Amino acid sequence: MPPSAGTYDFAVDPDDPNTSYGVIFRNIGDGSSVLDLGCAYGTLGAVLVERRGCSVTGVDLDEDAVAAARDKGLEAHVADLRTTDLDALLGHRRFDRIIVADVLEHLVEPERLLAQAVSLLAEGGAIVASIPNISHIDVQLMLAGDRWDYVPAGLLDRTHLRFYTLPGIRGMARRCGLRLASVEQVRLPPLGTEIWQQEPPPGCPPRMLRVWETLAGHRNPHLTVYQHVVVMEPGGEPTEDAVVEPAAGTLDVVVTTAPGRITRLRDALYSVAALTHPAVTALVVVRGDDPAYVEEVRALTTHLCGLVDIRILVVPGAPHRRAPALNAGLDAARGDFVCLLDDGDVLYPHFASVLAGELTADPRLSAASGGWVHCRGRMETHGFVAETKEVAPGPSAPLDVLLEPDGVHGGSVMYRRADLDAGRVRADETVEALEDWSLLRRLCRWHEVLSVPEPLAEHRTVDGEERTCAGSEAARRRAQAAICESTAELQVVLTEAELRALVGGVERGHVAALSDELAEARRQLEALRASPVLRIYRALRQTGIHRPVRAAYRLARGRRDG
Amino acid sequence: MDSSPSVAVQVVLHRSARWLPKLLRGLELLEYPRDRLRVRMLNNSPGDGSRALIERLSPRLLLGYEDSAEGNIGFGRGHNHLARQAGPETDLLLLLNPDTIPFHDCLLRLVERARSAPDAALVEACQFPLEHPKAYDEDGTTGWCSAACLLVRNRVYRELGGFDERLFLYCEDVDLSWRCWLAGHRCVVEPSARCVHVTQRTDHGKDLSGEILHGYVGGLFLRQRYFGEPAVARYRAAMRPAVPAETADRALSAFDSIRPETTAQTHPRIAERPDQQYAALRWNL
C-alpha cells in the first residue's frame, strides 16, 4: 500500500545535527551538483539550493510530491526508482552527490538502485544515504512484547521492505563496489521513537527497558541509533569505515593530586591519554602549595606531551582537603562534559565514549555513571600492583551503590557542562570526606542520572593506607551525617502503591492533582525520614517509570515552592 | 659508542589509522638512545589512510612504512616480514600492537630485564589499564607472553623461525612462547614496564566476530600441536555450545587446512588450558 499523500513532507532544519537532513546537509559541499533519489516534496533540495548554492535534480514516484518540488524551483522527475533507467532519464549527466535519504529500505532490490547511482557519479563523487536502524531498542522492545506493528512513517514504516543494521549497510555497500567513507548517526533515546510515542504494546513491562538495555547494550553500540547516515564512495581497497562519533563534545578530566603521589598520578594521566574519546583535556589540580611536588608534576607532564592536553592548577591549603580542589577544577573546566578523577584511580579507554554517548543520546540526563572495579593492592616503586579486584556495582541494582555513601565512586561519573554553569555540580567544602558523594547527591536531587553497569573505571586502594589524611572512618561518618542533613528536605519514601498511584495520575494527565498526592504521601511517611531520600529515585529506576514521575515530582515541588 | 642493544620496533597495521597518532607520539616519547632505535610498520590494509596520516604527522623517528603487497597477510606473517627486514644485526625486537601507547620508560625497563635475565627470550610488558588476565610467578616467569607489547630476543626469534604463519591471527604468541620453552628459553613478564593497550573489552562497540573465529582456530591449532587429538575433541565439544554453528563450522574448516603435527615434547609450562581467566576471555571457555 502506498503511503498517503503528505506522509514524507517533513520540515528540514539543516542546522540540527541530530537529524538525518542535518547530517546530509553537512556532507554536501557548496555548489555541488546533486541528484536526490526519492526527493519527496523537495524540501531538502530547496534548502541545498538556497543555503549551499547547489543545483538539485529530484526523482520521485509520487506525482503530487514532484509537483511540489517543482513549485520550489527544482528540476524534478516522476519515475519509479525500481525500474527506470536513470541514466537515460537524466540525459547521461553525472553528479557530485547523490542523496538516497530513507529510500533503500522501501525497495525490493535496493542494490540495483545503488549500482545505478554509482554509474551516475562524477569523478570524486559520493552517495549520501540515510537508512533506519532496525536494531534500535524501541524495535527490540516491541519484539519482546511479541509485536511487530507498522506505522505510517519511521523505523517501522508500513512500506518498508528491507531492514538494516550497520553491518548490513556495510555489506550492501561492499557488494555495490562502494566503501563507507564516513558513518554518522542520528540518535533517539529509549522510548523516544514514534513506536513508543504511540500506545506501548502490551506484554512488554516497562522494567524490561533497563534489563534490555543492559543485556543488549553489551554487544550493540547502536541501541539508540535511529538512522545511520553514510557517505559511500566507489572503489578502493576494502577499508575500515571512518566512523564519525556523533557530536562527541569536548571532555575535561579534573585529576586531583597531592604530594607524594606522583606514581599514582602517572597512571591516572596515562589512562586519560588512552581515552578513545576525541578532544580530552586533563586538568591536574595539585592540593597544597609544595613547589617541589608541582615541579615533579610538570616533569611528568613532559612525558605525556602530545598524548593529552594537560593544564596544571595549584590550590593552596591543606593537601587533604579535596573539596576545594574539586571545585577549583570544576571552575576551570571548559569542556562540554566534565569528570573527576583521583590520582591513583584510572579510567578505561572507553569510559568517555560510553558516557558521553549516553549524555548525547538523552538530553534529559544531567550525568551518567559507569560501573567500576574496586582494586585492592600494594604500591611498588614502579606503581600500583592489584591483588584483588571486585566489580561494583552489580548489574542488577547499580544505583544501590551509586547512591549510597560507602559505594559511591565519583571517578566514574560524567557531568554535563550546563549543570556546572548552573552551579549544580559543587562539592561540599565543609566536609573532609565523601566530597564527590556530596556533589553527586546534590545533583541527584532533581536531575536525572543514568547508571551504566559496565565497568568503565578502576578505583584503587592500597591496604592500610588512607586515601586522604582525613579519610578516617570517623571523618566519613561526620561527612555522611552532614551531607544527609544538607539534603534533608528531600527525605521522602514512597510505597510501591503510592508510587503506582502517582504514575497513574501522570498517565491520566491529572498532573494538577499531583501536588496534593505528594503532600499526602509526604505527611504519611514523614516518620520514615531516616531512610535516604534517594531511595525514591532508586525505586523509580527499578520500575522503569522514573521519568514521568520525576517530572511530576519536580512540577509538584515547583508549585509548592512557587 | 652506546652500549645499548639495538631495538627494532615493529607494528603490523590493519585498519589502524585511528590509533596511529597516539602510537606514534608514544614512540617519539620513548626514552631510548635514538641511534639504537628503529621503527618499522607493515600495513595489512593498504589504502586505509595510514600512509597519508604518517606523512602528515611526520614523527621524529627513524621510521619505515610499507604497504603489504598481498593485502592482509595476517599478524604473524606480517611480523616475520618485518623481522626479516631488521636483519640479524638487530639485538632485540619490540613487537607492538597498533592500539598501544608504551609508557615513556617502557622500553628501558624491558631492555633492562632482558639484560638481567639472559635466558629470557620473551619479555612482556604489563598491559594498562587492564592488565592481561594471566598468571605469572613472583619473578615474572610465565607460561606464555602476549605479543601486544613484547620484547623478543632477535637471535631466538630467528632460530625458531618466528611466528607460525599458518595462524592468521591470535594464539601465534602462545605458540611462539611454548616453542621458546621447548627450546630451553624462558618467558617473563616485566611488571614495571607498562604499556597502554586498548583491548577489545575496552573499545566501545568493537566487533568481536573476528576475534571469536580466529581465537577458535588458534585454540584448535594449539591443542593439536601440543596435546593431540583428544584435546582437540575436548575443545570442539566445549566450543559447540559457546559459538554460533556457522562460526564453529568456519573455524573447523580453517583448522583442517592448517592442522599441525603433534609434538612429542612436553614441558611443565605448557598447559592445555593455560589460564582459566584468559581462556574464558579469549575462547569463551
A380 interaction partners in chain B (CB closer than 8 Å): 191-192
CB-based burial of residue B83 (10 Å sphere; 0-12 exposed, 13-18 middle, 19+ buried)? buried
Q: Which of A266, A271, A385 sits opposite B191 (nearest CB)?
A: A385
Q: In angstroms, how far is CA A20 from the centroid of its own chain?
A: 17
- Report the distance separating Cα A366 and Cα A375, nearest Å: 28
Shortest Cα distance, chain A CAs vs residue B60, angstroms: 13
Q: Quick one: pLDDT at residue B57?
A: 81
- Report the distance separating Cα A483 and Cα A275, nearest Å: 32
Q: Phi first, then psi: what are they for B29, rounded to 5°?
A: -85, -5
Q: Phi first, then psi: what are they for A125, rounded to 5°?
A: -80, 170
Q: Quick one: pLDDT at residue B243?
A: 76
Which of B200, B187, B76 shows the shortest CA–CA distance to B124?
B187
Q: Phi first, then psi: what are they for A363, rounded to 5°?
A: -65, -10
- Report the distance separating Cα B256 and Cα B236, nearest Å: 13
| Number of CB atoms found within 10 A of residue B111's CB | 22
Whether A166 and A306 map to the same domain: the answer is no
H-type alpha helices, A218-350:
262-273, 291-303, 323-332
Q: Quick one: pLDDT at residue A559?
A: 40
- Report the distance separating Cα B228 and Cα B220, nearest Å: 10
If you average pLDDT over every residue of chain B, what do you get? Answer: 90
Q: Which of B47, B191, B205 sits opposite A221 (nearest CB)?
A: B205
CATH for A124: 3.40.50.150
Whether A66 and A155 map to the same domain: the answer is yes
- Report yes or no: B90 and B37 within 8 Å, Cβ to Cβ: no
Record: contact A357-B202, CB cut-off 8 A: no
If you average pLDDT over every residue of chain A, what do you get? Answer: 75
| Number of CB atoms found within 10 A of residue A485's CB | 8
Residue with cell 578513545: A276
Whether A163 and A283 map to the same domain: the answer is no
Q: Which of B28, B53, B204 to mutate to test the interface with A (most CBs of A within 10 A)?
A: B204
Q: How confident is the model at residue A142 (pLDDT cuts 50, 70, 90)?
A: confident
- A&B contacts, CB < 8 Å: 90
Name the grid cell of A557.
515541588
- Report the distance separating Cα B146 and Cα B173, nearest Å: 6
- Does A328 map to a domain? yes
Q: In angstroms, how far is CA A177 from the centroid of its own chain?
A: 33
**Measured between CB atoms, does A240 come within 8 Å of chain B?**
yes
Whether A419 and A345 map to the same domain: the answer is yes
Q: Which of A266, A276, A382 sits opposite B192 (nearest CB)?
A: A382
Q: What is the tally of helices (H) and strands (E) in chain B?
A: 10, 8
- Report the distance separating Cα A75 and Cα A89, nearest Å: 12
Whether A235 and A312 map to the same domain: the answer is no
- Does A78 map to a domain? yes
- Does A295 map to a domain? yes
Number of domains chain A contains? 3
Q: Which of residues 494-523 of A touch B (CB under 8 A)?
A: none
CB-based burial of residue A515 (10 Å sphere; 0-12 exposed, 13-18 middle, 19+ buried)? middle
- Does A417 map to a domain? yes
**Measured between CB atoms, does B26 come within 8 Å of chain A?**
yes
Whether A408 and A531 map to the same domain: the answer is no
Q: Using alpha carbons only, give the angle A276, A279, A282 rounded to the nearest 5 degrees.
A: 90
Bridge partners for A126 per DSSP: A97
Whether A390 and A513 map to the same domain: the answer is no
Q: Which residue would you say has higher pLDDT here, A108 or A472?
A: A108
DSSP state of A49: I
- Report the distance separating Cα A428 and Cα A479, nearest Å: 9
Q: A306 to chain B: nearest residue by CA?
A: B25
**Mean pLDDT to the nearest integer, A360-366:** 73
Q: Which run of H or E residues covers position A480?
A: helix A473-486
Q: Which segments of B117-175 are extended strands (E)?
A: 120-128, 149-153
Record: contact B204-A357, CB cut-off 8 A: yes
CATH for A469: 3.90.550.10
- Report yes or no: B178 and B224 within 8 Å, Cβ to Cβ: no
Q: Which of residues 352-391 of A touch B (CB under 8 A)?
A: 353-354, 357, 380-383, 385-386
Q: Which of A237, A267, A307 sits opposite B25 (nearest CB)?
A: A307
- Report yes or no: B31 and B60 within 8 Å, Cβ to Cβ: no
- Does A14 map to a domain? no
Which of residues A486, A511, A541 is at a domain's end?
A486
Q: Is the pLDDT of residue A176 over 90?
A: no
Q: Quick one: pLDDT at residue B37?
A: 96
Domains of chain B in start order, with CATH, are 7-197 (3.90.550.60), 209-258 (no CATH)
DSSP state of A189: -
Residue with cell 535516604: A532
Which of residues A224, A243, A262 is at a domain's end?
A243
Q: Which run of H or E residues covers position A476?
A: helix A473-486
Q: How confident is the model at residue A242 (pLDDT cuts 50, 70, 90)?
A: very low
Q: Quick one: pLDDT at residue A251?
A: 92
Whether A312 and A230 map to the same domain: the answer is no
Q: Which of B19, B109, B202, B281 to mutate to test the interface with A (most CBs of A within 10 A)?
A: B202
pLDDT tens for B26-81 read: 999 999 999 999 999 999 998 888 888 888 787 889 999 999 999 999 999 999 99
Residue with cell 589502524: B16
Going by DSSP bridges, is the β-strand pair A225-234/A121-132 parallel, antiparallel, or unpaired? antiparallel
**Measured between CB atoms, does B101 come within 8 Å of chain A?**
yes
Whether A176 and A323 map to the same domain: the answer is no
- Report the distance separating Cα A533 and Cα A496, nearest Å: 15
- When computed from its CA atoms, the radius of gyration of chain B, rounded to whole angstroms, is 18
- Report yes or no: A375 and A458 within 8 Å, Cβ to Cβ: yes
Name the grid cell of A454.
559496565
B49 interaction partners in chain A (CB closer than 8 Å): 239, 242
Q: Which of A182, A350, A414 to mutate to test the interface with B (most CBs of B within 10 A)?
A: A350
pTM value? 0.66
**Mean pLDDT to the nearest integer, A130-150:** 85
Q: Quick one: pLDDT at residue B197?
A: 94
pLDDT tens for A61-83 read: 999 999 999 999 999 999 999 88
pLDDT tens for A282-327 read: 999 999 889 999 999 999 999 998 899 899 999 988 877 888 999 9
- Whether omega for the bond prior to residue B129 falls within 30 degrees of 0, making it cis, is yes
Whether A458 and A507 map to the same domain: the answer is no
A236 interaction partners in chain B (CB closer than 8 Å): 47
**Picking from A526-530, B163-167, B261-265, B277-281, which range would have the lowest pLDDT averaged per residue?**
A526-530
- Does A10 map to a domain? no
- Report yes or no: A243 and A179 within 8 Å, Cβ to Cβ: no
Q: Which of B45, B104, B191 sits opposite A239 (nearest CB)?
A: B45
pLDDT tens for A442-483 read: 666 545 666 676 788 888 888 766 554 445 777 777 887 787
Q: Quick one: pLDDT at residue A258?
A: 93
Q: Which segments of A393-447 are extended strands (E)?
A: 413-416
Q: Which run of H or E residues covers position A359?
A: helix A351-361
Which of residues A486, A510, A545 is at a domain's end?
A486
B22 interaction partners in chain A (CB closer than 8 Å): 273-274, 307
Q: Is the pLDDT of residue A349 over 80?
A: yes
Record: contact A240-B129, CB cut-off 8 A: no
Whether A124 and A183 map to the same domain: the answer is yes
- Does A12 map to a domain? no
Q: Residue A328 corresponds to which amino acid?
A: A
- Does A414 map to a domain? yes
Whether A239 and A255 map to the same domain: the answer is no
B45 interaction partners in chain A (CB closer than 8 Å): 237-240
Supply the range of the domain harboring residue A276: 251-486
